[in-house]
Amino acid sequence: MSLSTPTNNIKKFVIAMLVSVAIQRSVNVLAFQSKAHVRRALLSGMSQHVERSPFLCPMKRWMSTENATEKTEEELAAIKAEREARKAEKERLKAEKKAKKEAERLALEQAEEIQDVTYLFYEKQDQYEPFGDLSRTMSRSRTGREFVNVQDLEGEGSKYGPGDTVWLRGRLHSIRVKGGSCFLVLRQDSFHTVQACFFKDKENPDFSQKMIKYLKSLTEESVVDIEGVLESAEVKSCSVQNVEVKIKRIYSVTKAASILPFLVEDASRSEAEVDASQETDRPFPRLGQELRLDNRWMDLRAPANNAIMRVQSMVCQLFRESLYSQGFIEIHTPKLIAGESESGAGVFTTDYFGQTACLAQSPQLYKQMAISSDLTRVFEIGPVFRAENSHTRRHLCEFTGLDLEMAINDHYMETLEVIHKMFKHIFNGLETRMAKELEIIRQQYQSEPVTFTEEPCVIHWPEAMEILTKEGFDIGDGMGDLTGAMELALGKVVKEIYGTDFFMLDKYPMEVRPFYTMPDPDDPKFSNSYDIFIRGQEICSGAQRCHDPELLEELLAQKGIEAGDGLKSYIQSFRDGVYPHAGAGIGLERVVFLYLGLDNVRKASMFPRDPNRCTP
């Protein structure tokens, strides 16, 4: 029996610990060699070494380094070339796929592309696409289409009705495309409008899709042609309210820019509408005068502004009609002259072949010489130039003059009677012939018809001074010209006393009248001259002319005016004998401006010229 002793136990414990440490150290060595061997196998591409790793087969540790070999340059180059070839093939396939998609996209785009249409003949129109931009109009042919005026689509005597096919040309006033439907408004002559519409055809979806796509491409204010069938409808927003046009064909003649200076709709609102909208969530834009005038062609598309130009034209027509009926003829006088035609007004000068010439301030001298030529009743409508640095709401540097001159027998009242008859013809003619235009204008610019008397209402200078004194004006010695405030106050009182917006004021002080004015026979400080007023503002200036050459030279001396070459011919025409005569010069734009109650004369001028504006 063996005995256990503490010493033996200690020995066994120490031996066990040493064996454990030895085993752990062997395991660590084997693991390290296995990892190193795997790394070398991966670097050399010899996967079989990994399969025979010492970690898996410890008895083969001696193979880990002795059989490893390096790759040759040729082998490395081959591997690299193979790798690049795979990469290139991958890129080629990718590019091929991209090119195929692009080709498919282009083919689809080409199939859906809307080509320009060259419309040559109506009888061949079935050969043309029913929508698209027309080729540039260059007078290639007379197509044979018969266009209809929008205003003729309804009303008494209209020869068109539901079921009729019509061609229309006008501006695209507005367009709304939603889903498979489209509603647009076509505008002609600024204020005649009709609704046109298109609806998706379920039996022809491809056509409908292309038509809708084209309609979406149209821009407001473009000029378009529409062929369509009239159908009964109730359209309150257009001037034509009982029919609409079902679109069969639509072509763009000229396309407007996608971004406009402003919308015609915004230019068509009254100041009251704009003011009232400022307190709402969606206030209307306020278009300044300079913006409007910088883009005047757009401003004139607004119905009221367009109608103002038509009223201006009618004033000229009525002016001519009345004077023709009273024995006048129309003349055309020079606008390049050698000297001033009016005293006290600035002139524009220009070079005339080495000499200084002036733009005519009026046809005054030449219409008087026409009387000396035995053209005893003459009138002219023409441009007048004033180089006055005036920035008021009623002054322009260029305006249109309505001038008349006539021989008289005894008294300048003969001329005032002709003028009064002429203005009555204008006022009555505007209210009857331009009723529609005036209605449109007065929706945006509020006014009432001008009131007038049957016989001339003539206020004499002393009476005017008395009225102004009572109104609180300091008239001094009563020999000065009237201010704008005085004119307005005088007009207000005359309306109260005589019930007229239209009156004449005569016997102005000689000091404030041009040199060619005939002095008053009873008091040479005054004159046989007159101004004519509408709503308290002057529209016309005139007088009996001084036809006596000696007196005329005295008047020139009193005014400090030297009789240059231009005036010498003028005076000589009187020396050779002339009828006594009188006349007047009327500002066309001022007549329109005041008759319509506008706030600025520039609204009555197509393209106004003032000290700050010479374009457009």
Residues tagged active-site? 386, 388, 394-395, 538, 541, 590
Rounded Cα distance, 420 and 532, in Å:
10
Alpha-carbon torsion angle 313, 373, 334, 538, nearest 10: -50
Distances (CA, A) of 263 to 189, 218, 268, 348: 16, 15, 9, 37
Distances (CA, A) of 499 to 98, 177, 424, 535, 590: 86, 55, 15, 11, 22
Using DSSP's 3-state secondary structure scheme, residue 36 falls into: helix
Q: Token pair for residue 286?
A: 């306020």
Name the 3-class secondary structure at 122.
helix
Tokens of 282: 């969606």
Collapse the DSSP code of 447 into the 3-class scheme (helix H, G, I; strand E, B; otherwise coil) and give the result. coil
Q: Which residue type occupies 338?
A: A
Separation CA 445–CA 305 (nearest Å): 10
Q: Are the beta carbons of 518 and 544 closer than 8 angstroms? A: yes
CA-closest candidate to residue 385, choices 587, 194, 247: 587
Q: Tokens 């709503």, residue?
A: 535
Helix (H, G, I), strand (E, B) or coil at 611: coil
Strand 355-359 vs strand 377-385: parallel, antiparallel, or unpaired? unpaired
Whether 533 and 505 have beta carbons less than 8 Å apart is answered as yes
Q: DSSP letters along 466-512, please?
A: HHHHHTT---TTS-SPPPHHHHHHHHHHHHHHH--SEEEEE--BGGG
Strands 192-199 and 181-188: antiparallel
Q: What is the dihedral of CA 297, 299, 304, 309, to 10 degrees?
A: -30
Dihedral, 597, 601, 604, 610 alpha carbons, nearest 10: -170
Q: Give, as one character, the DSSP assignment of residue 528.
A: S
